Structure 1
Amino acid sequence: MNKLWFAGILCAGVLSGCASQSSMSKAPSFVKSFPKTGSYLPYTVLRHDLIDDKTHKPFEIRNGGYGSSMTGNPNQTNQFYALTDRGPNASYKGDYGKGKIFPVPNYTPRIGLFEVEDNGQIRQVDTILLRRPDGQPITGLPNSPALGGTGEPPYHVDGKPILMNDAKPYNKVTNPIKVDDYGLDSEGLVAMKDGTFWVSDEYGPHIVHYDSNGVEIGRINPFKSDSRDVFHLPEVFAHRRPNRGMEGLAVTPDQKTLVGIMQSTMRNPNKAAQKGDLTRIVTVNLETGKTEQYLYRQDKAQNSNSELADLNSHEFLVDERDGGFLLGGPDGKANPNVQKKIYRIDLNRGTPLSTVALSSSITRDANHGLMIDGLTLEQYTEKNGWEALAQKGIYPVSKSLVVDVAKAVSYPHDKMEGMWVIDPYHLGVLNDDDFATWSTKGKLEQKYLDGNTIDAAQLYIIKANLMGN
């Protein structure tokens, strides 16, 4: 009797999902035998000649790096696509200002196609480099200020700036610091049924359409002067916080509407506004270009929304996390209270911002979006709270916990950035290993999860009731 009661409690829990035996029998074969401790993605070594600043020994920069986003291959059940970001990098303050070290400056962001075998092993099937419309590979270097660049100069590992021509001395006019207006810090990925891809990033934010070979065929961003655009995002999205742009991207099941989510509160209108817990979701109709915005309320201020996955036309999964390491990470500071949670959200239970009635206190600004008493929504909510926003008839999308990943699989990684909806009862989760690279005060080192384990891209498959019914 007590055992039966306890089992019932477990099945009611949000962590277990308690898929029925019939649902398990219908699950793909690779799910049934997948190891509970996860399975590692293969990697190659980009370079191994740099000296770890802590150990004073050579360390590996790995590729790796597949984990900024993931999505299932819509044409083959046991395959998924995974995305890298701009490449290995580290914060650095040099002679030309606060920017980033790029130890592999010509690295091209890319999409990997991976297959999960029935024994749980993962093999890489294909690599798709992201390319300009002329077929030239892009880099992960920053954009110019007109297209979202926030003045983060790129540096080589020796502290010298990356120049248009490194063989010549710096000259502001004839040999400036190198930027790449096609460069992406890619973070969100959608694989369309026609074989094309949409990728969102942290530089613009840009949402770029690539053909099956990785060649750009269209672009969406908030910069109306960008002649490459097929549609535009609302201008407010140009106020993204540096390194925290459009982290998650999904598409509705009918393939007609993109849905993107910003990682954190934007600098709207200034840096002081980024300290809140309000993030924005945007939808883009791919036939008309019409956009809509919704608000998402984070559990804690300055958390990260690192992935978005579709369930149906109005419900999505959101990955919300902090930056902590369960086992201590490179700093050795174990944190048993890390937050790595997956929520189900419903756009139909949030307020579409275009429907908010204007008044003497509620206005619209072309640059900053909806305003209340002269404050942006970021400012107003931080100052007055969500209750005050509700009194104005503005509500965030609903959210309900699906799974606490840290508790479900003792998740050791800091970054939980990939989600793969395998079926209604199984979710793939993938970390971003940062190319196994870390830095302390601008000094490069190996990235560790604890005192001995190097971080690596690791897929977990978690049983949970994703649909909540």
Structure 2
Amino acid sequence: MRITNTILAAAPIAFTLFNAVAAAPPAYEAAKSSTSTSRSTSHSTSHSTSHSTSHSTSHSTSKSSSRSLTKTTKSSSRSSSTPTAKTSSKSSTLVTSVSSSSSVPATTSVATSASTVVSSSTSSVAPTSTSSAVSTATSSATSSTTIPIPSPTTVVNSTTCGGQTYVYEELAGYGFIASDARDKLGDTIGGIGSSIALDGSSWQQLANGSYTGQLYAIPDRGWNTQGTVNYQNRVHKIHITLTLDESATVDSPSAPNLQMEYVDTILFTDPAGTPVTGLDADVRGPYLTFPSIPFDLPSVHFQGDGFGKDGPGGQRVVMDGEGLFLGHDGSFWVSDEYGPYIYHFSATGSMIGAIRPPDAIIPLRNSSESFSADSPPIYDPSLAPIPADNPTGRDNNQGFEGLTTNPDGTRLYVLLQSATNQDGGPSNKNSRNSRFLIYDITTPQPTYLSEYVVSLARTVSSDSSSKIARQSEIHYVSDTQFMVLARDSGEGRGQGSDATTSVYRHVDIFDISAATDIKGATADCSTCSIATSKGVLNSTITAAQYCPWLDFNVNSQLNRFGVHNGGADDAGLLNEKWESMALLPVNPGSNDKEFFLLSLSDNDFITQNGYLNSGAFQYSDASGYDLLNQALVFRVRLPSGSTPLVS
């Protein structure tokens, strides 16, 4: 499926290109000057207790010392430094500079492409280029082939869940987009790791062995570290090129080998054509209604321009997009945190439908609907709700983080980031019992089919008081098994020098085949709970089987691409928030179940050179950081009988 239609408010058409293949890895310039580098290749793993004894996990040690998995403590991990990096011999011919304000040093390379675009995003207006920027991004994909790619001889680990085996073979790639890169409206490209989806028809292998395809990525609600702003929700189209570097080792790391090039943007509007905004919802209604949708939508009355300056004000539907699916008809399904709702947009970005979840998930304050997530606008911090935590419904900023569908596009699945507040949600350590809902989307008004409980892992499995690894994305593998991206928080790039080591950053598996379907009057009313306030699940309910699997934080893999978990708070440190997944076939057109698992990070639009509101609103994040839009590519093998979503 390819999507080409775009509706934009009158804005200058200007394209910015970014190339992560030819750019130096984040710590390259600092590392290459060292004659010796201390390396700590740690593997910090936390496993939760499975609900079934049929789950097993095994780790295989590589024949190469560069891939050995050695456990380490938090303190020893932080003492490691990033290894030097080599320049990949397979780098793309299209070369552009990274932003001059990025913490990554810009590199100069000679391109052999006939149409090379070098761009910078440091000016106060949207950077411009000719249409060759787009043609260059797609011309290399005209010659496709299939070159058998041998599987690695060793693996990082494997997990068996419900009799199905999942294998993490190796880390296969890394790339990034600069923190102050800008889209065609002149706005900062940030938060694109909130959710991604591959245009499966575009994915192909080229004659030189590289892979290319079109990726769609949604930012969430815009820059909001100092208050929410009137950012118009959107989806970006990004051209990706992956060039494998099988020679990458810890001692001789690869340069970034995943190229990401911005192509286009589609803006989202409500059914009446008004922009959808990232501002926090009003504390109480009345909320907006539309003839085509049989319930009200979370919305906000805002002042001025919604950025703290003069303007007409108004009322808009609010959305904090966290999940994305590309419909077979070219439309977009987006799950949200505010409602939490699920929205259906046309290929041109116009809202054509919505799903409201059961009442048990709708947030209430003072016995009334209250869609505010306690995220006041930048122009008036006093607009915080009372009480801050809604007693029932989804917790603040813990809505439908996960969305996926089956390959036919007939079933839609959503998972709350953590438990509802009546099920233990306000306290992190009690919030493990999340709700997983299934809808039939074959008709204009989707049908609610079933609901299950997914008990999420603890960041330290042996400690019942440890925090929950709340989930950030799900992905369909079969009718009963799903991948789930679960992670800790507060650890990673931008969190400070004393908070660089993540202990749980996983893609895990859950299986609903033996779980209890809780859909019904006893679970779905506004006062219904399925667990105690301490997070103890009702004894009559069997949760999905949960199986830990792929650990992002294996430094013996990360260091092969010049990045790391723990240690110095530098540009090579992994970002805190990883919130997206897409599967890319290793052998396109085959049925061998070997995939590249792509994940992008959400950088929260954190930059010192930020622009929003079509470039009219300039900001510099108070943290002082510039966070790259980082991406990791894992090579995995899924069960032989699985039918995973490739989009």
TM-score, length-normalised on structure 1? 0.70
Determine the C-alpha separation between the residues in 1 that align with 2:451 and 2:323.
18
Unaligned runs of 5+ in 2: 1-57, 69-146, 153-169, 204-212, 244-257, 288-295, 363-392, 459-466, 559-563, 566-573, 586-592, 609-619, 642-647
Equivalent position of 2:448 in the other structure: 290
Report percent identity of matched pairs: 25
Q: Structure 1 pair 142/8, CA: closer, same or farther in 2 (3 Å)? A: closer
Task: Write out per-residue CA displacement over residues 415-456 of structure 1, whole angstroms, 9 at most, x where no aligned residue.
Answer: 010111113332001100111259xxxx942464xxxxx311
User: How many Å apart are 1:113 and its aligned residue?
Assistant: 1.4
2:406–2:479 contact (8 Å) kept in structure 1: yes
Counterpart check, 1:378 vs 2:525: no
- Counterpart of 2:216 in structure 1 is 81
Alignment of 1:361-372 (within 5 A): 363=522, 366-369=525-528
Change (3 A) 1:282 1:418: same
Give the match for residue 119 of structure 2.
none
Matched, 1:142 2:280: yes
- Does structure 2 retain, via aligned residues, the 8 Å contact 1:265–1:378? no
Partners of 1:346 and 1:257 in 2: CA distance: 16
Unaligned runs of 5+ in 1: 1-6, 17-21, 28-33, 48-59, 92-100, 169-174, 222-232, 370-375, 449-453
Counterparts in 2 of 1:193 and 1:365: CA distance versus 1, 3 Å: closer
User: 1:445 aligned to 2:600?
Assistant: no
Larger relative contact order, structure 1 or 2 (CA cutoff 8 Å, min sep 6)? 2
* Structure 1, 252-261 or 459-468: larger mean CA deviation: 459-468
Please point out which of 267, 270, 275 is paired with 1:129: 267
**Paired residue type of 1:280:** R
Q: Specify the alignment match of 2:174 in structure 1.
A: 38
**Aligned partner of 1:332: which letter?**
S
For the structure 1 residues 65 and 210, does the alpha-carbon distance in structure 2 shift closer, same or farther, using more than 3 Å as the test? Answer: same
Where does residue 435 of structure 1 map in the other structure?
Answer: 605
The answer (yes or no) to whether the contact 2:360–2:523 under 8 Å persists in 1 is no
Alpha-carbon contact 1:112-1:127 (below 8 Å) kept: yes
Give me the whole-angstrom Cα distance separating, in 2, the residues matched to 1:456 and 1:320: 21
1:198 paired to 2:333: yes
Question: In the alignment, what sits opposite 1:68?
Answer: 194
Q: Alignment partner of 2:519: what SS?
A: helix
Cα deviation code 1:118-168 (max 9, x no counterpart): 543111222111112233322111233345999999799xxx9868x9469
Contact 1:250 1:308 in 2 (8 A): yes
- Flag the 1:149–1:217 CA change in 2: closer, same or farther, 3 A: closer
Displacement of 1:81 in angstroms is: 1.1
More strand by share: 1
Q: How does 1:15-414 map to 2 (within 5 A)?
A: 24=149, 36=172, 38-41=174-177, 44=180, 62-77=188-203, 78-90=213-225, 101-102=227-228, 105-119=229-243, 120-144=258-282, 145-146=284-285, 166=310, 180=316, 182-221=317-356, 233-238=357-362, 239-268=393-422, 275-287=430-442, 289-300=447-458, 301-326=467-492, 329-354=494-519, 363=522, 366-369=525-528, 376-379=529-532, 382=535, 385-386=536-537, 389=538, 391-392=539-540, 394-407=541-554, 408-409=557-558, 410=564, 412-414=574-576
Q: 1:245 to 1:118 in 2, by over 3 A?
A: closer
Report the Cα distance in structure 2 between the residues aligned to 1:111 and 1:151, rounded to whole angstroms.
20
What value does the CA root-mean-square deviation take over the aligned residues? Answer: 3.8
Name whichever of 144-153 and 296-305 sits farther off.
144-153
Residue type of the alignment partner of 1:39:
G
Distance in 2 (alpha carbons) for counterparts of 1:155 and 1:131: 19
Which letter maps to 1:279?
S
Kindly indicate whether the alpha-carbon contact (under 8 Å) linking 1:88 and 1:437 is maintained by their aligned counterparts in 2.
no
In structure 2, distance between residues paired with 1:331 and 1:254: 44
The CA deviation at 1:396 is 1.2
Deviations 1:6-37 (A, max 9, x none): x993489xx99xxxxx973599xxxxxx9956
Deviation per CA, 1:258-278: give whole Å up to 9, x if none: 100111222127875764311
Q: Is 1:196–1:210's contact at 8 Å kept on the other side of the alignment?
A: yes
Is the contact between residue 150 and residue 242 of structure 1 (CA under 8 Å) also seen in structure 2? no
Q: Could you tell me which amino acid in structure 2 is paired with residue 24 of structure 1?
A: I
For 1:236, what is the secondary structure of its paired residue? helix
- SS at structure 2 position matched to 1:141: coil
Secondary structure (helix, strand or coil) at the match of 2:360 reads helix
Q: 2:631 aligns with which of 456, 459, 463?
A: 459
Structure 1 CA distance, aligned partners of 2:432 and 2:584? 30
Distance in 2 separating the partners of 1:195 and 1:459: 25
Change over 3 Å in CA distance of 1:339–1:75 after alignment to 2: same
1:335, distance to aligned residue in structure 2 (A): 4.1
Deviations 1:265-299 (A, max 9, x none): 22127875764311111111113513311111112
**Which amino acid in structure 2 is aligned with residue 236 of structure 1?**
A
- Runs of 4+ in structure 1 over 6 Å off: 148-156, 160-163
Change (3 A) 1:118 1:319: closer
Give CA-to-partner distance per residue, 1:212-253, whole Å, 9 cap, x none.
1111111111xxxxxxxxxxx211111111111111110112
Query: In the superposition, relative to structure 1, how do residues 379 and 153 fare at CA in structure 2: closer, same or farther (>3 Å)?
Result: farther
Deviation, structure 1 residue 199: 0.3
Amino acid aligned to 2:264: D
SS in 2 for 1:307: strand
> 2:468, 2:302 → 1: CA distance?
25
Cα displacement (A) at 1:90: 2.2
* Larger deviation, residues 315-324 vs 263-272: 263-272
Aligned residues of 1:109 and 1:184 also touching (Cα < 8 A): yes
- Contact 2:218–2:236 (CA under 8 A) maintained in structure 1: yes
Bigger drift between 263-272 and 199-208 goes to: 263-272
| Whole-angstrom CA distance in 1 between matches of 2:242 and 2:431 | 44
**Equivalent position amino acid for 2:263 in 1:** V
> How is 1:415-426 mapped onto 2 (pairs within 5 angstroms)?
415-423=577-585, 424-425=593-594, 426=596
Give 3-state SS (helix, strand or coil) of 1:67's partner: helix
Contact 1:431 1:458 in 2 (8 A): yes
- Whose radius of gyration is greater, 1 or 2? 2
User: What is the CA deviation profile of residues 169-221 of structure 1, one whole-angstrom value per residue up to 9, with x for unaligned ones?
Assistant: xxxxxx8xx653x2211111111122111001111011100111111111111
Shift of 1:399: 2.0
1:42 deviates by 5.5
Q: Distance in 2 between matches of 1:122 and 1:40?
A: 7
Normalising by the residue count of structure 2, what TM-score does the alignment of the two structures yield? Answer: 0.52
Q: Which amino acid aligns with 1:260?
A: V
